[in-house]
Amino acid sequence: MSNDNPGADANPTRPVSEARRKVEAGVARRHASERRFRLYGLFSVMFGIVFLGLLLASVVGNGYSAFRQAQVRLDIHFDRALLDPEGRAEPGLLSGADYQLLVKSALGEQFPEVTERRERRELNGLVSPMAAYELRDLLLANPSLLGTRQSLWLPADDFVDMLLKGHVGRGAGVSGRPGGAQLAWVDRLKAEGRLELHFNRAFFVSGDSREPEMAGVWGATKGSFFMLLVTLLLSFPLGVAAAIYLEEFAPRNRWTDFIEVNINNLAAVPSIVFGLLGLAVFINVLGLPRSAPVVGGLVLTLMTLPVIIIAARAAIKSVPPSVREAALGIGASPMQTVFHHVLPLALPGMLTGAIIGMARALGESAPLLMVGMVAFVADVPGTPLDPSTALPVQIYLWADSPERAFIERTSAAIMVLLAFLLVMNLAAVWLRRRFERRW
Amino acid sequence: MRLTTMLLLFATLVILAYFAARRRAIAMAGGHRGIRNLHSLPAHHGYYAALCSALPALLVLALWALVGDRVVMGQVITTLPEPYRSMEASELSLVLNEVRALASGQAMGGERPPELEPVAGRFLALHSASRWLLSAVVLALALAGGALACWTIRPQLRARNRVEAMVKALLIGASTLAVFTTVGILLSVIFEAVRFFGQVPIIDFLFGLEWSPQTALRPDQVGSSGAFGAVPLFAGTLLISAIAMAVAVPIGLMVAIYLSEYAEPRMRALVKPLLEVLAGIPTVVYGYFAALTVAPLLREGGEALGLDVASESALGAGLVMGVMIIPFISSLSDDVINAVPQSLRDGSLALGATTSETTRRVVIPAALPGIVGGVLLAVSRAIGETMIVVMAAGLSARLTVNPLEAVTTVTVQIVTLLVGDQEFDSPKTLAAFALGLVLFIVTLVLNIVALLVVRRYREQYE
């Protein structure tokens, strides 16, 4: 081409102009295909973004309502005759009393016309069975309430909650749905201002529960926190130590190569395989307790270690050799060079890597299923050895629950999890921006 | 003695060793002015003593954590009354669990054999004795190590070199942990898998066409034959992975091309982090989205077209998994596309090629090894992905290539076999480890092949 063209321009002959015509005829087609190609690219980008938007919208749309919860205002009479018939104000006795009775009698006062047994049962079903426990805790914390009459907001049952939020229709008769009488009572309570949506405090301060209106994420959050604590305490020092050795001291030989291949491979091993390792080694061989955040943390440590090693090595690599040479030049030993000069300069990069590794560990659930963290745990764990679950596992568990009210709670738990992840990633970005140095 | 008290005492001893050795080194040198008489800095003498005090004791602690419980239990077994002593290992472990529960006072559910009561008492006594022994040994070792190190301090002691040698040994230990993890995975999975293959022939497992792991509780039970042919699982995994890759490869690649060849820097700076958010979303969220939003959509769409779509169809799980993998492929391809030197593009553009022609005929071929490597890594991720399929794919092992039907995968079966109550000898639980072995080997091979492809066929432009 390059040989022919100049001559062709100088002396136009038939075959050359035909070639040119061919080229020109193709230009429009080629430009069209160029535009198409570009459009495919744009479409792909849009696909990703639209999907992300849909995902977030579906989570937020399903979940935002869970932050409010229907509550019923009842005039509870802490009746001595019901709670403490023999008149001894002992805590042991008070904690064993039947608080359900208080709720029932308050509801009875509210709706005196309801007398039939079956209807009474339906009426009592308006208030969450957990309300009794709230009353007990209230009275135990403040025994002077005994004998007084209090106007209290108590959690309504989940179907009332769903009804108020419009998540279930008013069609009566189906099992699990409110019957006609219940609908009328709900409407009356609402008209009297005794039934309102309030901030759902239980969601943030309680553990798991079979009753959706009392189920919260605090237990799972604490479990996740303990697990991440174990993971961070183990994987950061170990990962940094490994990275220092491999980057600064390791001789170039087969063994080092083998270690590196292992690290890179572990970074790509499916997480569930780490769960199998945890089950076989930590639980069956070492006899550590099932469902304990310690075990989950150990498994996540092994999983995040490669991530942290790789990030820490990159951070060490980015420290220029001149820093090392200067330190060595004035008589520092190699170990002093690394610990006094290279490590402080590489630390922000390592921390960034560690935070990203932690964020990944926080969202991980498959290996935790293997080490028994899927058990139903209603208590909030107090130590890393107590049985517990983790946020993503809690999401998995709730997603499996049939009650309609758990759909919004699952979405709300996802929002909590995503908020944590967002904060961690923003921290990583901030660290990088703040301390990044170009040498 | 409580473990925390012991650890606190231990830490105090180690810190004491540091200061004692430092003081002694300074004293040996004849006060602060004579420090230059020392071979190493006083602090190095301190570190030396601290390490000498801490390391042996930590070793003992680690050893106890590994075998302590076993030794105690071994002693307890010898005190068990006769019918228990000659039990099978699995029954014995159940009995021992009862003993443990009795000892910790959490005895629930009543009916425990009364002859276990004294055994539980014995266990408690042994347990606390072993704790005391451990505390004594650890604290004695810490004290002795620190004292010995202080004793050996001389001005010419090469404390720095010794400390550095010990630190280096620790660093080496940390770096070999990755190897131990791999070995641990292999051993734990292979060990259980071999036990499984002792009960179910490996040929039946790898090539059998029927999977129904529910073994009969009673011999006369109907319908639970316990067939362990894993082919339907492999087929299901491949089907869902194939759907995921059909979504992720073209879209991920086009995203990478668009961002590196077409998009303006401003758009790139905006879009790239947005897509990385997709990579940061936990898989359980994808699973929830697939089960709650995508599956019903597909079902309704299928009904509108007159198709019968299962509510846990392979298509739904595959689609969502594909989206999860898009950022993985696009960021890996982005890296290799950006590594193609600009001169190649300039050459092609100068010859009159359009940007798309340059991309398709010059950039992509040059970047192909890296892209193929990335795709292989993505396949290994799709195969090992668990939560999406657990939540959105089915449980029934069906041998089909119809993406509208429900299939099950290897990871789903591992989870269903191992979650919940389990006895550790039934082929049902062991089968999970055999599946895990297959999963590990397949992903390992994929990773290694990906690495080799990238290394072998990478064009070097320097």
Q: Specify if B25 maps to a domain.
A: yes
**Contact (CB, 8 A) for A103 and A133:** no
pLDDT greater than 50 at residue B399: yes
CA-CA distance, B176 to B345, in Å (whole number)?
44
Q: Is A333 on the interface with B (CB under 8 A)?
A: yes
- Whether residue B308 has pLDDT greater than 90: no
> Tokens standing for B311?
């509510």
Mean pLDDT score, B80-103: 69
Please, are residues A149 and A75 in contact by the beta-carbon 8 Å criterion? Answer: yes
Domain-terminating residue out of B135, B157, B179: B157
CA atoms within 13 Å, Cβ hemisphere of B461: 12
b/e for A308-343, b at 16 or more Cβ within 10 A?
bbbbbbbbbeebeeeebeebeeeebeebbbbeebbb
Domain ranges, residue A240? 218-435
The model's pLDDT over A291-327, given as tens digits with 9 standing for 90+, comes to 889 899 999 999 999 999 999 999 999 999 999 999 9
A103 and A244 in a single domain? The answer is no
Q: Do A270 and B411 touch (CB under 8 A)?
A: yes
Q: Per-residue pLDDT tens for B429-454?
A: 888 899 999 999 999 999 989 888 88
Judging contacts by C-beta atoms under 8 Å, the chain A residues touching residue B330 are: 48
Assess whether A430 and A377 both reside in one domain.
Answer: yes
A262 in reach of chain B (CB within 8 A): yes
Chain B neighbors of A334, CB-CB under 8 A: 164
Q: Report ipTM for this prediction.
A: 0.87
Transcribe A317-359 into DSSP letters: HTS-HHHHHHHHHTT--HHHHIIIIIHHHHHHHHHHHHHHHHH
The segment with the largest mean pLDDT, out of A192-206, B209-223, B226-240, is: B226-240
Rounded distance, CA A203 to CA A199, Å? 9
Specify whether B148 is located in the same domain as B250: no
Q: Is A427 on the interface with B (CB under 8 A)?
A: no
- Report the mean per-residue pLDDT for chain B: 85
Classify residue A43: in a domain, yes or no: no
Q: How many CB atoms lie within 10 A of CB B133?
A: 12
Residue B177, helix vs strand vs coil: helix
* Cβ pair A327, A340 in contact under 8 A: yes
CA end-to-end span of chain B: 66
Q: How far is B423 from chain A (nearest CA, A)?
A: 12
Shared domain for B129 and B242, answered yes or no, is: no
**pLDDT tens digits for B354-398?**
999 999 999 999 999 889 999 999 999 999 999 999 998 878 788
CATH number at residue A357: 1.10.3720.10
The alpha carbon of residue B97 is apart from the nearest alpha carbon of chain A, in Å, by 11
- Token pair, residue A414, equals 């996802």
Q: In the 8-state DSSP scheme, what is residue A433? A: H
Please provide the DSSP assignment of B20-73 as one string: HHHHHHHHHHTSGGGGGGSSS-HHHHHHHHHHHHHHHHHHHHHHHHHHHHHHHH
Contact between residue A351 and residue A232 where contact means Cβ atoms under 8 Å apart: no
d(C-alpha B337, C-alpha B368), whole Å:
9
Residues B21 and B141 both lie in one domain: yes
Is the pLDDT at A274 greater than 90, yes or no?
yes
For residue B438, the one-letter residue type is V
Contact A38, B267 (CB under 8 A): no
pLDDT of the residue at A186: 81
Q: Are residues A258 and A395 in the same domain?
A: yes
Distance from CA of A34 to the nearest CA of B (A): 5
pLDDT tens digits along A335-388: 999 999 999 999 988 998 999 999 999 999 999 998 888 878 888 888 888 888
The model's pLDDT over B107-165, given as tens digits with 9 standing for 90+, comes to 544 556 666 777 777 778 888 888 888 889 999 999 999 898 888 888 888 888 999 99
- Count of CB atoms within 10 A of residue B273's CB? 12
Domain of residue B17 covers: 3-157
Q: Would an 8 Å CB–CB cutoff place A366 in contact with chain B?
A: yes
Q: A298-307, A309-318, B229-238, B305-314 — which is least confidently predicted?
A: B305-314
On chain B, the residues whose CB falls within 8 A of the CB of A47 are 251
Same domain, B243 and B341: yes
Cα dihedral sign, B328-B334-B335-B340: positive
**β-bridge mates for residue A68, sequence order:** A199
The shortest CB-CB distance from B174 to any of A30, A241, A414 is to: A241
Kindly state whether B56 is in contact with chain A, defined as any CB-CB distance less than 8 angstroms: no
The answer to whether A263 contacts B424, with C-beta atoms less than 8 Å apart, is: no
Domain stop point among B109, B141, B157: B157
Give a yes or no: residue B37 inside a domain. Answer: yes
Residue A15 lies in a domain: no
d(C-alpha A55, C-alpha B282), whole Å = 12
Taking every pair of C-alpha atoms in chain A, what is the biggest distance, in angstroms? 122
DSSP state of A371: T
Beta-bridged to residue A152, according to DSSP, are: A74
Kindly state whether residue A179 falls inside one of the protein's structural domains.
Answer: yes
pLDDT band at residue A91, thresholds of 50, 70 and 90? low
Residues A223 and A185 in one domain: no
- Our count of domains for chain B comes to 2
Q: How many degrees, rounded to 5, is the angle at CA B81 between CA B76 and CA B83?
A: 120
Last residue of a domain, one of B157, B187, B212: B157
Assign B211 to helix, strand or coil.
strand
Whether A330 and A384 map to the same domain: the answer is yes
* A residues 282-321 closer than 8 Å to B (CB): 284-287, 302, 305-306, 309
| CB neighbourhood size of B296 (10 A) | 13
Total count of domains within chain A:
2
On whether residue B447 sits in a domain, the answer given is yes
Q: Which two tokens stand for residue A327?
A: 């330190």
